[in-house]
Amino acid sequence: MIMGIEFQNNKFHLFNNEISYIIEVSEQSDLLHLYFGARVDAEDIHSSVGICTFGCQADDSDYSLSALPQEYPSAGAADFRSPAYEMETDKGLHTPELKYKSHEVIIGKPPLNGLPAVYVEDDSEAQTLVITAADEVHGVEVKLYYTVFEQFNVICRHSEIVNVSGSCIYLNNAQSVSLDFPAGEYEYIHLEGAWAREKHVDRNAIHKGTQGFESRRGASGHVENPFLMFFDKGAHEDFGNVYGISLVYSGNHRFLMEQEMYETVRVQAGINPFQFRFKLNRGESFVTPEAVMVYSDGGFAKMSNTFHKLYRTRLCRGTWRDKERPVLINNWEGTYFDFTKEKLLAIADAASEIGIELFVLDDGWFGKRNSDNCSLGDWYENKEKLGGTLSKLAAEMNQRGLKFGLWFEPEMVSPDSDLYREHPDWAISVPNVKPHLGRHQLILDYTRAEVRDYIVERMTEILGNANIEYVKWDMNRNMSDVYSLHLGADRQGEFYHRYILGLYDVLGRITTAFPEILFEGCSGGGGRNDSGMLYYMPQNWASDDTDATERLYIQYGGSMVYPASTVGAHVSAVPNHQTGRMNSLSMRTAVAMNGAFGYELDLSSLDKCELEEMKKQVAFYKSNRHLVMTGEYYRLLNPFTSRHSAWMYVSEDKSRALVYYVVKTARPSNEAVHLKLKGLDENARYTVNGEPKSGRTLMNYGIVIDSPEHDGDNIIFEVKRV
């Protein structure tokens, strides 16, 4: 493999074996975007002459920014498309125009101050180009960061906007990335949804005008995941030029695509400019979140596998990054708030009997919380309800061979809590206005250091005083009534972003203080399933919908970008609590096994037969979890367009594979299914559940499945090279 950053004939070329990213410094010192895609030779690439049909660059009619592809377009400076950033000086100037000033190449990849980002373990893995462009009249400098990797077909981008003027400036918009694609026919996919219906695949054609998606919820949200797939029309799983852009950020985001009169398409991703206004005093700077851009010349599957490996090994961190995740039992759907110590131990007894490794005590163990209307913020164990201390309970779990884990919702406060009675001003709300509640709760103002310190102090005490080896970090409402008593009138527009910086500060402090704890992110299920959270927590509860049929969609969509190792997935009771469906135990398990696997039901109420079946399933998962966590992932049948769903994992050396096939909706007089496998060695011979077949037969002809008859029928194929 090779990798490098060259600067010749006023062109920057970032490359590895397979990709190129090319930027030109024009004669007018503008930063023009020339190319991003499969490897090319930079000397052969030239910018198109941006001839403007409606003169706007008075002194040179053959050159106009309005028709040229750009790296970080300014607002109001002869380009009428969406700007990458917008600013205003204290004198009201707001039409900056960036000109190239200097550049440097850094070996490795510097971290982003206070923000999560992809990292390298050794500087030899990547190189980073930093281009500085400036506008002296407006007093602004922008540093554009681009990292290229030797082993990944990825460019990471972010920008830093520096106030070099004599007084303050205001930023009204600061995107992480702006990319101009040449005229063409394009499509895009985004992962849309709702609570308990997250990450559904929505595919659209790019049309003239502006289109996109965003979050204004103070969190990345259930509704729009901060991830975009932009591709040549007609691309599919195995074919086509595909660009995946994932924003490493957990707050308000915006993805924008704009096709204008020259049929080129501008694609941007970054913090949502909605109610965003950031004041920079002289010398201060603003760092945007990182955008991770994957290029694939081989369709969606290649893009996904690049994200999976990158995020699994160079975004997730800590002790648990490479470790097999314990099979867990979570008591939430089994008991909700209504539990006693005896009940928990009865569930634990059954769990340990069937080989489960971790007991997670969910909501309801603190304050006087027996329903969702109180006590958030009062992070003190409820000894009466727990029949003793948490430490004692953890010890009793440990005696049963189980690790012990605990639920928190550290960003929230209930109006009915001691914390709120003592510090009503710690909650986000507008003075003299009755705040809107969500799930009966308010959000703590994480822009305030004393609020963050309180949470760190409470969690540290609890985590330090009991043998807690797992934490579920929940967040169950979105932001409204945004105002902080801590920020001045001129800084209220900084609130959303400062909240996320505060959150990252707390997450960083707690995860660093407790490196051995396995953390799982959650936000009413998948309300904050983003790559920002994965930097702190190597897994994320994918959805509050535990129905296996619904999970086929949710997990299929999520697999576009997030690796299976990061996806929390549980077997729950029937009828399912969200949909009322009666899926078989076999189907519920087949679907939940595709991630960090667990159970979420009252095991103590099941009969011996079911527990025996589960015991075998747990053993099966344990013997295959390494492959699920680390294997190359292929989507075989799409549940959004088919009655079936199927997917598979292949070990890196192609010697083993695990294939899942599930009937989503059965119908009479059904067809035989040819399930064509992917990613195997075509020259090798394999056994499929014991039967010999060649790699090329399995991939070209497939496995023939004759008679799937009922909803939820499923088959797991173990493929082994002979």
CB of 203 closer than 8 Å to CB of 551: no
Q: Is 545 in the site for ligand DGJ (CB under 6 A)?
A: no
Q: Is 287 exposed, middle or buried (0-12, 13-18, 19+ CB in 10 A)?
A: buried
Report the residue closest to ligand DGJ, judged by CB. Answer: 363
Closer by beta carbon to ligand DGJ, 24 or else 362 = 362
Residue of 363, 396, 602, 711 that binds ligand DGJ (CB under 6 A): 363
Distance from C-alpha of 256 to C-alpha of 241, rounded to nearest angstrom: 19
With CB under 6 A as the contact rule, the residue among 524, 595, 708, 712 that binds ligand DGJ is 524
Q: Which is nearer to ligand DGJ, 140 or 406 (CB)?
A: 406
Q: Is 362 in the site for ligand DGJ (CB under 6 A)?
A: yes
By C-alpha distance, which of 81, 239, 83 is closest to 159? 83
Q: β-strands 567-572, 596-600: how paired?
A: parallel
Among 362, 378, 474, 545, the active-site one is 474
At closest approach, how far in Å is the CB of 541 from ligand DGJ? 6
Dihedral sign for Cα 677, 548, 581, 618, please.
Answer: positive
How far is C-alpha 687 from the geometric centre of its chain's CA atoms? 36
**Nearest distance from residue 526's CB to ligand DGJ, in Å?**
9
Phi, psi of 67 (to 5 degrees): -120, 10
- Asked if 274 contacts 214 with a C-beta cutoff of 8 angstroms, the reply is yes
Using CB under 6 A as the binding rule, the residues of this chain from 391 to 420 that contact ligand DGJ are: 407
Cα torsion 31, 33, 36, 40: sign: negative
Residue 379 engages ligand DGJ in binding (rule: CB under 6 A):
no
What is the rounded distance in angstroms from the CA atom of residue 246 to the CA atom of residue 110? Answer: 19
**How far are the Cα atoms of 290, 518, 522, 566, 714 from residue 532, in angstroms, in the given order?**
9, 17, 13, 12, 34
The answer to whether 327 and 618 have CB atoms below 8 angstroms apart is yes
Range in contact with ligand DGJ (rule: CB under 6 A) among 290-298, 494-502, 522-530, 683-691 = 522-530
> Which residue in 544, 545, 602, 711 binds ligand DGJ (CB under 6 A)?
544
By CB under 6 A, tell whether 525 contacts ligand DGJ.
yes
Closer to ligand DGJ by CB, 356 or 637: give it. 356
CB of 600 to ligand DGJ, least distance (A): 8
Between 385 and 654, whose beta carbon lies closer to ligand DGJ?
Answer: 385
Q: How many residues bind ligand DGJ (CB under 6 A)?
A: 11
Nearer to ligand DGJ, 139 or 558 (CB): 558
C-beta of 177: minimal distance to ligand DGJ in Å? 31
Residue type, 695: G
Q: How far apart are alpha carbons 288 and 278 in whole angstroms?
A: 12
Q: Which is nearer to ligand DGJ, 165 or 331 (CB)?
A: 331
Task: Give catalytic status of residue 474 as yes or no.
Answer: yes
Q: What is the CA radius of gyration of the chain?
A: 26
| Choice among 445, 530, 544, 711 that is catalytic | 544
Asked if 491 contacts 279 with a C-beta cutoff of 8 angstroms, the reply is yes
Q: Which is nearer to ligand DGJ, 23 or 522 (CB)?
A: 522
The piece of 306-314, 342-350, 517-525, 633-641 that touches ligand DGJ (CB under 6 A) is: 517-525
Phi, psi (5° rounding) for residue 124? -70, -10
Give least dist CB 629 to ligand DGJ, A: 22
CA separation for the pair 500, 279 (Å, rounded): 17
Residue 37 three-state SS: strand
* DSSP assignment of 98-155: -EEEEEEEEES-PPPTTS-----SSGGGEEEEEEEEEETTTTEEEEEEEEEESSSSEE
CA distance linking residue 453 with residue 509, whole number of Å? 10
Of 72, 307, 332, 621, the one binding ligand DGJ (CB under 6 A) is 332
Using CB under 6 A as the criterion, what x/- string covers residues 455-494 for binding ligand DGJ?
A: -------------------x-x------------------
Whether the upstream peptide bond of residue 575 has omega within 30° of 0, thus cis, is yes
Q: Does 119 participate in binding ligand DGJ (rule CB under 6 A)?
A: no
Q: Locate 353 and state its tokens.
A: 């009997």
What would the two tokens of residue 45 be? 């690439």
The yes or no reply on residue 541 touching ligand DGJ (CB under 6 A) is yes
Instruction: Specify the residue, 499 or 541, whose C-beta has the smaller distance to ligand DGJ.
Output: 541
Question: Residue 147 or residue 331: which is nearer to ligand DGJ going by CB?
Answer: 331
DSSP assignment, residue 71? S
User: Do residues 532 and 559 touch, judged by C-beta distance below 8 A?
Assistant: no
Output 220 or 447, the one with its CB closest to ligand DGJ. Answer: 220
Q: Shortest gap between Cβ of 502 and ligand DGJ (angstroms)?
A: 21
CA distance linking residue 548 with residue 555, whole number of Å: 10
Interface residue list for ligand DGJ (CB under 6 A)? 332, 362-363, 407, 474, 476, 522, 524-525, 541, 544
The residues annotated as belonging to the active site are 474, 544
